[in-house]
């Protein structure tokens, strides 16, 4: 499809966002001024913009193809339902500002969050268990609000989670995507089997994210066909398999694995139930942490190898014997 060809306007669009070309100064949306292009492709543009009336920064997504417009419309529908249920906004969810058709596509205007994607943060830093639990607990609050509005997020990939700080400098997290098109790596088995989604689907997604934060990778990674097969039929590896020295609060690994049960009925029934299981673990003193499953065996093996190596080496005391003999001979000669 040609990028400039008009995209059919969906019925029921409630807010029209007109776009017009202004000389060489770029594109201008009615009510918004586009400042800097962040992403450009044949399907979609993403701009950092400013609302003219309030002068607050916003992010504008411009769909340039039917596929991109379908994704944006799904996001808009979810965000509208959340806004109708929580008119004052929900902490941890990037809010909807405006949306509507244009001459050659569709525009979605969102609140701007100063920060970076969780993927970029994970590239530079490693999460400790308390930080990982705190991050997932905060995201649980946002996901629970979505569920109260009848929205299942489905996709909690680190690319679609923003990390920033509040006015007090505390780390905060925002869900930035509601396109409901997760990759196999972050998909629940029922999504891959095309069985639809429920609240337990998001419990699985939160479990995948917690696993990733704790050990530095998802339980199943690789080619799509391999990941899909494992996501549907394989049990997730123990945390210690990928993090041999990982120590965690007692019970945390059991919570993660319960989230990742293949059968949705074996997971936590709701995100609120998951919160109740995680909250006590967030305050366990570090002295009471335990080795993650699989880590203990790895450490024992390493310690045994180290012990055998020590047994094969001569004792440092034997190195003193020649020196003692030389000293004795020298004393006899001098005497």
Q: Are 124 and 140 in contact (CB under 8 A)?
A: no
What are the structural domains of the chain? Answer: 19-111 (3.30.200.20), 115-291 (1.10.510.10)
Q: How far apart are CA 216 and CA 202, in angstroms?
A: 20
User: Which residue, among 42, 56, 33, has the nearest Cα to 1 in the 3D structure?
Assistant: 42
Q: Are 295 and 242 in contact (CB under 8 A)?
A: no
Q: How far apart are CA 108 and CA 72, in angstroms?
A: 7
| Average pLDDT of the residues of the chain | 83
* DSSP conformational letter for 217: S
Q: What pTM, to 2 d.p., does this model score?
A: 0.79
User: Which residue, among 109, 106, 38, has the nearest Cα to 73 in the 3D structure?
Assistant: 106
pLDDT in tens, the chain (335 residues): 333 333 444 444 334 444 444 333 334 477 888 889 888 888 888 999 999 889 999 999 998 888 888 889 999 999 999 999 998 889 999 999 998 887 777 889 999 999 999 999 999 999 999 999 999 999 999 999 999 999 999 989 999 999 999 888 899 999 998 876 778 999 999 999 999 899 999 999 999 999 999 999 999 999 999 999 999 999 999 999 998 889 999 999 999 999 999 999 999 999 999 999 999 998 888 888 888 887 654 444 444 444 444 444 455 555 555 666 666 556 655 65
């Amino acid at each position: 499809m040609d990028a400039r060809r008009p995209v059919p306007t969906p019925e029921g669009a409630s807010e029209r966002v007109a776009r017009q070309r202004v000389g060489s100064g770029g594109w201008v949306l009615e009510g918004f001024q586009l400042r800097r292009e962040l992403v450009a492709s044949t399907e979609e543009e993403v701009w950092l913009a400013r609302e003219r009336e309030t002068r607050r920064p916003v992010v504008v997504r411009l769909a340039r193809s039917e596929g991109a417009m379908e994704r944006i419309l799904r996001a808009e529908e979810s965000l509208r339902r959340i806004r109708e249920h929580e008119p004052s906004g929900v902490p941890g969810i990037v809010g909807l500002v405006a949306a509507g058709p244009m001459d050659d596509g569709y525009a979605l205007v969102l609140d701007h969050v100063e920060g970076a994607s969780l993927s970029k943060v994970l590239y530079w830093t490693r999460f400790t268990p308390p930080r990982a639990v705190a991050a997932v607990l905060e995201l649980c609050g946002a996901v629970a609000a979505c569920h109260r509005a009848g929205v299942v997020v489905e996709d909690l990939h680190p690319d679609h989670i923003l990390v920033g700080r509040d006015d007090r400098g505390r780390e905060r997290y925002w869900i930035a995507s509601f396109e409901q098109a997760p990759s196999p790596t972050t998909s629940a088995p029922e999504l891959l089997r095309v069985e639809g989604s429920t609240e337990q689907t998001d419990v699985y997604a939160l479990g995948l994210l917690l696993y990733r934060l704790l050990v530095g990778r998802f339980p199943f990674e690789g080619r799509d066909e391999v990941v899909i097969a494992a996501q549907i039929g394989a049990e997730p590896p123990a945390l210690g398999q990928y993090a041999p020295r990982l120590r965690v609060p007692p019970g945390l690994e059991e919570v993660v694995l319960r989230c990742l049960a293949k059968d949705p009925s074996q997971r936590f029934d709701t995100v609120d139930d998951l919160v109740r299981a995680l909250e006590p673990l967030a305050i366990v003193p570090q002295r009471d942490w335990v080795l993650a499953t699989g880590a203990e065996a790895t450490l024992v093996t390493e310690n045994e190898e180290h012990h055998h190596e020590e047994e094969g080496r001569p004792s440092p005391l034997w190195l003193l014997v020649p020196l003692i003999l030389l000293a004795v001979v020298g004393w006899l000669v001098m005497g």
